[in-house]
Structure 1
Amino acid sequence: MLKNICCIELRSGSKEEVMPDFQPDFPYLASYVDFDQCAGRFVPWHWHKEAELFYVEEGVLEYRLSRGTVVLPAGSGGLVNSNVLHMTRAQQDNVRTTQFNHIFDVSLIGGWQGSRIERKYITPFVTAPQVEMVALRPEAPEQAQILEALRASFQITEDYAYEVRLRAALSDLWCRIFALAEPLLREKARRDKTSDHLKTMMAYMHEHYAERISVAEIAAAAFISERECYRAFRDTLHTTPVEYLKGYRLQQACQLLAQGGESLTSISQSCGLGSSSYFGKVFREAFGCTPQAYRREWQESDKFRRK
């Protein structure tokens, strides 16, 4: 069953994305993302050790990665590698944008640790820093066939031998994508520490966003200089540490606004945004409406979805 995802939660320790309903005996989640239901029509920067197979159902989707941006229209798809820092955004305003996702631990298809399948077909892929994503486009005939199989895999029903049929479909898709990626896998590439530094600094901000924190403290969390901190955010995320922190605080505020009737003053303070007047100002700049209007619109749409 597809789970509708409109916001992400992060693990308290590693700060990777939490996978709701992820079970250790079958580490898999099928999700559906409607970007109309996401604050700002984007899913913020995050990462997870699980692989992500996705299909763009409607609209045009941007995947932003540390090595650049990939634009994928409806009918496209791809595989995001394990532990890759990424964010997704609906490219077109007023155009509904949706995607389907298979998110799974690679052990689901690789079997036990050290197995032949893991050594030959899993480890070479997930440990390749040069392979952040393999994009699939319908105009390429071979990729179009994979995309047809990918879309069909989301139609597998939860009846007899569902887990076996799903694992078989994921294994087939992995094998075909692995073959496409082989030329990249043969390239030699050194791991860029910038992504690791960013994850560490982002984790620090996610842990302390309610507090007053400085760029010096953010940089110190990754044992780098402030100059290197600014460079990492600029070159990879195309923003500053301060702007990223503000954006993260606003995302947390959006979740609180959608959840209930907590006062704006309480929300602004608990999210590290200071006074309610400043909160209102930066919220309008980011989302084009007031916090009150956002809450009202979200709660009304939530009532509609429950009918």
Structure 2
Amino acid sequence: MKTFTFETLPVTLAEREINTTIPHQELAHWHDTLELIQVKQGQMHCHVNESDFLLKKGDICIINQDQVHRIYSDDTSCLVHTLSVDPMMLSSIHELYHQLILPIISDQDFTHIRMHGRNSHAHLISNLMDDLQILAQEKPSGYALQALAYVSMILRQVYIVHNDEPLEADHDEDLRIQKKMATFIYEHYGEAIGLSEIAQAGGISRSKCSTVFKKYTETSPIDFLNAYRLEKAAALLKNTHASIADIAFSCGFNQQSYFNRLFLREYGITPKGYRNA
């Protein structure tokens, strides 16, 4: 994955390839930024809360902050650009922020908007995202100011689309519960937790817990927990000199042999091989 930043602007542009041969597909997640997805090549699925839909070359999807989502491919290779923008970057311009930005990000009916590539707004957003990538690669003098201009133009398109396009509202109480349980996993993955503890964090039964996870993440609570543990372990393997046994234990695996099996299945390589690669 290639990542482009723009000095101190809270804006990140990423280019990544998605296909079934890449180990460890991303987990469902959420963040406090607006995210725009641009399909450059191929096609892929986008899962936002309860909705799952196909995006093809040229299509754009705008995802509001705090929405549980992930992107994945079934059987084809796909090249995608994602633009993450922190709307608070404009909060110092008080009147503009409260009139044009806050009504969008605080709209509970605005979870996501998908646009066909032939849509004029999608076409303009795609061109601006391409311009941002070129800007980040060339880094001309004062390029952050130009990046701010491009991002402002993109946000204007988001404002127009939000006002004109039909919204796909699909949030409910289960979404709040799912976030609560996922947050519990993020904070306690290194401890001896299981289905009962995850369900208790959401204040629901074990069976309801499994249903909610399947609904929003398309996986089980334990598979989600183990995948997150493996993500953290992979980062420790690359960025620390801790022993594999210590890493396995710190990430919630009581047996190194079990950790090794799961890691090999998820990443297609042993923990030792991953560290040395």
TM-score range, shorter chain: 0.7 to 0.9
Distance across 1 between alignment mates of 2:7 and 2:216 = 30
Amino acid at match of 1:129: Q
The 2-side partners of 1:164 and 1:21 are apart by 9
Query: Residues 166 and 107 (structure 1 numbering): CA distance in 2 closer, same or farther, change over 3 Å?
Result: same
Task: Give 1:91 deviation, angstroms.
Answer: 4.0
SS in 2 for 1:198: helix
Partner secondary structure for residue 43 of structure 1: coil
Please give the per-residue CA displacement for 1:93-120, whole angstroms capped at 9, x wherever unaligned.
Answer: 6x4x44333322213345444x2x3333
| 1:3 alignment counterpart | 3
Matches within 5 A, 1:23-42: 23=8, 26-35=9-18, 40=23, 42=25
Q: 2:245 aligns with which of 260, 265, 268?
A: 265
Corresponding position of 2:55: 72
Structure 2 residue identity aligned to 1:149: L
SS of aligned partner of 1:46: coil
Amino acid at match of 1:177: V
Shift, 1:202, TM fit: 1.0
Give the residue type in structure 2 aligned to 1:65.
V
1:119 alignment partner in structure 2: 98
After the TM superposition, which residues 273-292 of structure 1 pair with which residues of structure 2 at under 5 Å, given as runs?
273-292=253-272
Name 1:200's counterpart in structure 2. 180
Candidates 34, 37, 48, aligned match of 1:51: 34
**206, 209, 230: which one aligns with 2:189:** 209
Aligned to 1:294: 274
**Compared with structure 1, are the counterparts of its residues 22 and 62 closer, same or farther at alpha carbon in structure 2 (3 Å cutoff)?**
farther
1:131-280 mapped onto 2 (5 Å cutoff): 131-156=110-135, 157-183=138-164, 191-259=171-239, 262-280=242-260
TM-score normalized by the length of structure 1: 0.75
Supply the distance in 2 between the matched residues of 1:190 and 1:45 (Cα, whole angstroms).
16
Moved more, 49-58 or 38-47: 38-47
Contact 2:37–2:80 (8 Å) recurs in 1: yes
Question: Which residue number corresponds to residue 302 of structure 1?
Answer: none
Shift in alpha-carbon separation, 1:280–1:152, aligned structure 2, 3 A: same
Q: Which runs of 5+ in 1 are unaligned?
A: 5-19, 300-307
SS at match of 2:134: coil
Shift of 1:45: 2.1
Residue matched to 1:12: none
Which residue matches 1:85?
68
Number of residue pairs the alignment of both structures matches: 273
Q: How far did residue 212 of structure 1 move?
A: 0.7
Q: 1:190 to 1:272 in 2, by over 3 A?
A: closer
Q: Secondary structure at the match of 2:28?
A: strand
TM-score of the superposed pair, with normalisation by structure 2: 0.81
Q: Which runs of 5+ in 2 are unaligned?
A: none
Runs of 4+, deviation exceeding 6 Å = none
1:40 match: secondary structure: coil
1:189-229 per-residue CA deviation (whole Å, 9 max, x = no partner) reads: 68522222212211111111111113232223233343432
After superposition, the CA RMSD in angstroms is: 3.2
SS of the aligned residue for 2:26 comes to: strand
3-state SS of 1:272 partner: coil
Structure with more contact order per residue of length (Cα contacts < 8 Å, sep ≥ 6): 2
Q: 1:252 to 1:141 in 2, by over 3 A?
A: same
Contact 2:33 2:87 in 1 (8 A): yes
The superposition leaves residues 158-203 of structure 1 with CA deviations (integer Å, 9 ceiling, x where unpaired) of 434433322221222222233223245678x685222222122111
| Cα offset, 1:55, TM superposition | 2.7
Q: For residues 27-60 of structure 1, give each alpha carbon's deviation from its aligned partner in whole angstroms, at most 9, with x where no partner exists.
A: 3333343558x97253222211111233333443
CA distance in 1 between counterparts of 2:22 and 2:11 reads 25
SS at match of 1:167: helix
Conserved? CA contact 2:38–2:59, under 8 Å: yes
Partner deviation per Cα, 1:106-149 (whole Å, 9 max, x = no partner): 13345444x2x333322232123332222333244553243223
Deviation at 1:152, TM superposition (A): 2.0
Q: Per-residue displacement from partner, 1:236-289 (whole Å, max 9, x unpaired)? A: 212221121111112222222333554332222121122122122222333344
One-letter amino acid matched to 2:23: G
